[in-house]
Chains A and B, each alone.
Chain A
């Protein structure tokens, strides 16, 4: 059973009288442990697709199966539980709570999972350590650099042991050195923890980290390539 199965997913936005097809019949399957890069020009529907995969948004047509379950049939709270346990989302704009410390931001998913405060703290500290932020747990987002903020967001995505991390242009706001470091972090999570990573990016060299590259154009998948050896070279 594939981890993710998109069966003719459609997303139509209606603005005035015009129907805009942000996603048109997208068929895709992604297996557990894959590292997938999604590329395509701006407005091609990448974010729309990621939001649907992340259960933040609902398709207007088609079916989305996550671990074989039709997500379309779930209610708000069931979707919230999926976002909590199965999916870690990393956004371009970080989306951290500005009034909370790094530690509290990472604890957030566990807050909605009923863990004791001791357990929360322990796991959050471990997650911060694994993204290389020991000693920064008390810092607030405005006391951290962009790269560090994104690491906090990644720690938050990791902390509930979600099997999938979705990252929509995670390095879009960062310089190239920081971007490279973050990409290496994603690769490490993929290879060491076998977390499935789906990542939207514009930069071709960043897509080089992944084995599979899917290209979107005007809401459709126009290419889906699996490189057998390319990624290994980059990783060396």
Chain B
């Protein structure tokens, strides 16, 4: 029969006697647990951010860009001109059954002026399909229509950053802004989306009808030319089908022969982002693993101190055995001692981990997310470390011969 409260009392007393030593031993575990929690928080934060950015791009997204793909990525010969046209975009929407919407993109950077405020931002010409393709909603106002595209009206949608820069607190809808000195009526404001996966502010943007962009803002080499198109597939499962359909259709439209390379490239953004997300998860695991090593080192510190403690207290062990302590009474005494060290260290480590995550995210402006699971994991790992590294010294103590232990000097 083992008396846990009394054993705990004995262990705590032994730890109190060597306060400095106990504290230093715990430090190893504190750093270990703190590091595991902080590193996992950094990694999880990064994954989460990438995840959010992916969903901010819009789901089931394909991008069709001019130029052929080589092993090194997109290859564009010098002087090569875009081969994609508005006609291609229309054809993709009409003739590819797996495609739900298409948005052509044509644009550049332009100076925008409102009153005495001015701001330089990306102006994109596109079709009403853009909002659907990007899963983007308006916070106020209305979107432009097919009619606006047909008649190349001078209307625009503003991103939140542009609104903040030009209007301050005013309501921009109905106001007139000048883009490249040409007046445009603001008809709607886009909801804030934040950064894209490349770290660019997606809200620092203005959308205008593609025809207006072509005719009024950015002259093109030939009418109908676009820079690229964004395509939304009907579902995630339809992404591959859509990609194949677009390839076939555009090869046909561009008269590309059997042996010739494509003069365009279809990129599956979701897949690319998933790969990025995957690699950030791997990074999280790697960070966690490196931090765990320090936890392990902390555990070895505990074992070291427990072995010293067993040696120092050989006579005490002998006395306990002489009055009837059994094998497990002695073992538990030392295991509880090691556990107390590691769990107290673990608890302090949680505090350190949480606060250093906070510090990292405020100093490095790196989002950190402390998941309860990582805290639980680190804490129970520290408990395991205590039991694992405490067991050997405890086992060693319990196997002492009573008379040898009593005679130990």
- Could you tell me the distance in whole angstroms from the C-beta of B99 to the nearest C-beta in chain A? 77
Query: Does A108 count as interface, using CB distance less than 8 angstroms?
Result: yes
Report if A111-B6 is in contact (Cβ < 8 Å); known contacts: A57-B401, A99-B17: yes
Bound Cα distance from A85 to B401, whole angstroms = 19
Bound Cα distance from A57 to B318, whole angstroms = 12
Query: Does A222 count as interface, using CB distance less than 8 angstroms?
Result: no
Query: Does B322 count as interface, using CB distance less than 8 angstroms?
Result: yes
Q: Which residues of A contact B3 (CB under 8 A)?
A: 111-112, 114
For window 352-409 of chain B, which residues contact chain A by CB distance below 8 Å? 401-403, 406
Q: Which of A51, A57, A83 contacts B324 (CB 8 A)?
A: A83
Bound Cα distance from A76 to B402, whole angstroms = 10
How does the 8 Å CB contact mask read for B297-337 relative to A, with 1 for contact and 0 for none?
00000000000000000011011111111110100000000
- Could you tell me the distance in whole angstroms from the C-beta of A90 to the nearest C-beta in chain B? 10
Between B14, B316, B402, B406, the greatest number of chain A beta carbons within 10 A of the residue's beta carbon is seen for B402
* CB closest residue in chain B, given A83: B324
Interface size class of A (residues with CB under 8 A): 20 to 34
Query: Does B221 count as interface, using CB distance less than 8 angstroms?
Result: no
Bound Cα distance from A95 to B321, whole angstroms = 12
A108 contacts B406, C-beta separation under 8 Å:
no
B1 contacts A117, C-beta separation under 8 Å:
no
Q: Which residues of A contact B1 (CB under 8 A)?
A: 113-114
A and B contact pairs by CB, cutoff 8 A, 12 listed: A83-B322, A84-B324, A89-B323, A95-B318, A96-B319, A97-B316, A99-B14, A108-B320, A111-B6, A112-B326, A117-B5, A156-B323
Other A-B contacts than A80-B327, A108-B319, A117-B6, 6 sampled, CB-CB below 8 A, are A57-B402, A80-B324, A84-B324, A111-B3, A112-B325, A112-B329
B406 contacts A95, C-beta separation under 8 Å:
yes
Bound Cα distance from A67 to B79, whole angstroms = 108
B402 contacts A99, C-beta separation under 8 Å:
no
For window 113-142 of chain A, which residues contact chain B by CB distance below 8 Å? 113-114, 117
B residues with a Cβ closer than 8 A to A are: 1, 3, 5-6, 13-14, 17, 315-316, 318-327, 329, 401-403, 406
Q: Classify the secondary structure of B's interface with A.
A: helix
B324 contacts A97, C-beta separation under 8 Å:
no
Between A54, A80, A89, A156, the greatest number of chain B beta carbons within 10 A of the residue's beta carbon is seen for A80
Report if A95-B324 is in contact (Cβ < 8 Å); known contacts: A111-B3, A114-B1: no
B327 contacts A77, C-beta separation under 8 Å:
yes
Q: Which residues of A contact B321 (CB under 8 A)?
A: 56, 80, 83
Bound Cα distance from A114 to B219, whole angstroms = 94
B326 contacts A76, C-beta separation under 8 Å:
yes
A56 contacts B17, C-beta separation under 8 Å:
no
Query: Does A163 count as interface, using CB distance less than 8 angstroms?
Result: no
Query: Does A81 count as interface, using CB distance less than 8 angstroms?
Result: yes
Q: Which of B17, B324, B403 contacts A109 (CB 8 A)?
A: B324
- Lowest 9 A-B CB distances belong to which pairs? A84-B324, A114-B1, A109-B323, A112-B324, A57-B403, A56-B403, A77-B326, A56-B402, A80-B326
Between B14, B319, B323, the greatest number of chain A beta carbons within 10 A of the residue's beta carbon is seen for B323
